[in-house]
Structure 1
Amino acid sequence: MAEHCKISVAMASEERSFVLKVSEYSRAKALLKNGEAVTSTPFSVGGHDWALRYYPNGNKGSADFISLFLVLLESADAKDVKAKFMLCVLNKNGQPLPSYSRTFPMGTFSGEGDSWGYHNFIKKADLEGSQLLKDDCLTITCDVTVIKEIHGEEETRVPPSDLHQHLGDLLNSKDAADLTFQVGGQTLSAHRCVLAARSSVFKAELLGAMKESSAVSPIEIHDMEADVFKSLLHFIYTDLVPSVLDVVIASHLLVAADRYNIVRLKLICEEKLCNHIDSKMVATSLALAEQHGFHRLKEACLQFLASPSNFKAMMASGGYEHLKSSCPSVLKELIARILPAEWDVAKDMVMEI
């Protein structure tokens, strides 16, 4: 989240040049009537977006001229914006022509859509009688200077923290890495102090009994895919999960987060699985929850399967056999839960089987 601070300066300004190229001068002149304009692509100066509005047959009342205006577009703070600008035609060699330039002194743009400029910027007959149209192309440069006067103290916004970006770059660059891991046939590098600061399990291992051995030989990680461990490291350094977090990835990351006691990642993954329960994945998620003690996920799965239609769909997908072989106790708990309340004796019998 961005923070606020107070600074004290007298004046700030920003200048930028923008080039307007009318590549088909004759066609634009033929298609657009007096008072009709084309607008350039936006460009940014002084924290505001601007554009040039070009009237090939002049604005109203200026049919013999080309009209040109600088327009203040949408902006977060587009009110009473002070700016000055200069418009100048370029010759065939791209050089400015003083005789075809106009300087607009300091003006105040009162809000979005406000514009300043010239109804009679260039007389069309003079332009077409010259040799400025190279391949029917008219080129005009606009130099805009935005002035911001600041009297005394003014509140400004401090950008959001980018610590996660710097730590992510540190992980990717491997600079000063003092650990290596062997995971799924891949060698991955990391920093002992970062892992120890983020995980109590890593802290105990890397700063305790494993400290000496981990300094000279790679640490082997078993029962985990390399991509899962990479995502785990990425979260440790950046506090961010993969941009695409499907239920399969979330399941593997949940186990990894539980293994290394990374609580926030565990909650994120468990939330993902709780919100994406369906008949095909519910048996796998329920078995995972039972085996690793994920109580919230287990309860969400049991509530889903309390519906007879969901239970039948789970059985049709093969989930029943999976639960029967991997977690018979949770299957008995499920059956006892969905039996009618008046069948208390039957529930007791199921639980004793």
Structure 2
Amino acid sequence: MAEQCKISAAIVVEEKSCVLKVDGYSRTKALIKNGEWMTSPPFSVGGHDWAVEYCPNGFATNCADSISLYLLLQSAGAEDVKAKFTLSVLDKNGEPVPSYSHASPMRTFSKGSPWSYPVLIKKADLEASVHLRDDCLTIKCDVTVIHDKETRVPPSDLHWHLGDLLKNKDAADLIFQVNGQTFSAHRAELLGAMKESSTATPIEICDMEPDVFNSLLHYIYTDSVPPMLDVVMAGHLLVAADRYNIVRLKQICEEKLCNHIDSNMVATNLALAEQHGFCHLKEACLQFLASPSNLEAMIASEGYEHLKSSCPSVLKEPIARILPAELKAAKDIIMAMWR
């Protein structure tokens, strides 16, 4: 399904127009259920990455008769980004249709609330109109990012100082033992982030590799991850962040895995998503497996046996998704097999 999403964009100063083209509107509507979505490739406006979330059957049960559209701020750690946007259905000439255009007022996006309020389009009205041509829906998103030009306060460099504190071990009052390696840290810095920090030292951390724990400590002190974070470490850090409920680190790692899915890693990532409840990662894996060739490659991968043994029920979803819409009875049988 993701391959049906095509983006073209042009940037002017701090404004950008992104065009989302959904080829195969009917097939997409049949395959993606209520509460599920597809995400456009990211586009940059005002120094931040954005994307459009498209829910062909609504994001919640009370809007299942509508298409739900969201503007999503994807930049990790972005704070107080002021932006306004307009979402419009385009006519045959590529012009916005006034009755299917929604302009959002200026609002502030941040890491705690990256999504906009939903824009709803009644499916029955749209399907009865002339704007759904050749089973193709074209939506334009105009985004304007506003910068506060009066702000002259330099960016904080506290993370550099805290990073040096961790590196030099000055006034460290905690000792961690991780698989035979020792790490020094500060009780005040970890209070609240790690429940073990309130206990006596040395503290033994189980079920975690030393390099993962080192990266976790680095993030807690500096609010940053290595610039070249690889997908293997991102997976381990995602589990560690979930263990200690470090929300932003979970978002960063989950986004990294969602953007680097291939046939070798998809089985491992799907098992990870299912076991820990990472819904965005699970949906990205399922969208990748909507291609029969990708599904076959996943079955031949090393991670498939682990997925089959640890989360067998999750395999029903990619199988059901690749069946044609007219084989609804077969889909129902497959879904019932794992209940």
TM superposition score normalised by structure 1: 0.50
- Match status 1:315 vs 2:310: no
Residue of structure 2 in register with 1:338 after alignment: 322
Counterparts of residues 249-328 of structure 1 (less than 5 Å):
249-328=233-312
Instruction: After TM superposition, give the deviation of residue 159 of structure 1 in Å.
Output: 4.0
Give the distance between the partners of 1:334 and 1:304, measured in 2 at CA: 9
Q: How many residues align?
A: 188
Q: Secondary structure at the match of 2:335?
A: helix
The residue that corresponds to 2:331 in the other structure is: 347
Task: Quote the Cα distance in structure 1 between the aligned partners of 2:216 and 2:253.
Answer: 12
Per-residue deviation, 1:328: 0.3
* Aligned position for 1:170: 165
Given the two structures, how large is their TM-score scaled by the length of structure 2? Answer: 0.52
Aligned counterparts of 1:341 and 1:301: Cα–Cα separation in 2: 20
1:161 maps to amino acid: S
Across the aligned residues of Structure 1 and Structure 2, the Cα RMSD in angstroms comes to 1.9
- Where 2:156 maps in the other structure, the secondary structure is coil
Unaligned residue ranges in structure 1 (runs of 5+): 1-154
Shift of 1:240: 1.0
SS in 2 for 1:287: helix
CA offset at residue 161 of structure 1? Answer: 1.8
- Corresponding residue SS for 2:191: helix
1:344 Cα deviation from its structure 2 partner: 2.1
Q: Cα offset for 1:313?
A: 1.9
Structure 1 residues 166-198: Cα deviation after superposition (integer angstroms, max 9, x where no partner): 10111111111111111011111111111125x
Matches within 5 A, 1:186-265: 186-197=181-192, 199=193, 202=194, 204-206=195-197, 211=198, 214-215=199-200, 217-265=201-249
Query: 2:98 aligns to what?
Result: none
> Identity over the aligned pairs, expressed in percent?
77
- 1:269, distance to aligned residue in structure 2 (A): 0.4
The amino acid of 1:293's aligned partner reads G
**CA distance in structure 1 between the aligned counterparts of 2:314 and 2:245, rounded to whole angstroms:** 24
- Quote how far apart the aligned CAs of 1:158 are: 5.2
Distance 2:318 2:211 in 1: 34
Q: Answer yes or no: is the 8 Å Cα contact 2:196–2:203 preserved in 1.
A: no
The 3 A distance-change label for structure 1 pair 181 and 319 is closer
SS of aligned partner of 1:285: helix
1:342 positional shift: 2.0
Q: Which runs of 5+ in 2 are unaligned?
A: 1-149
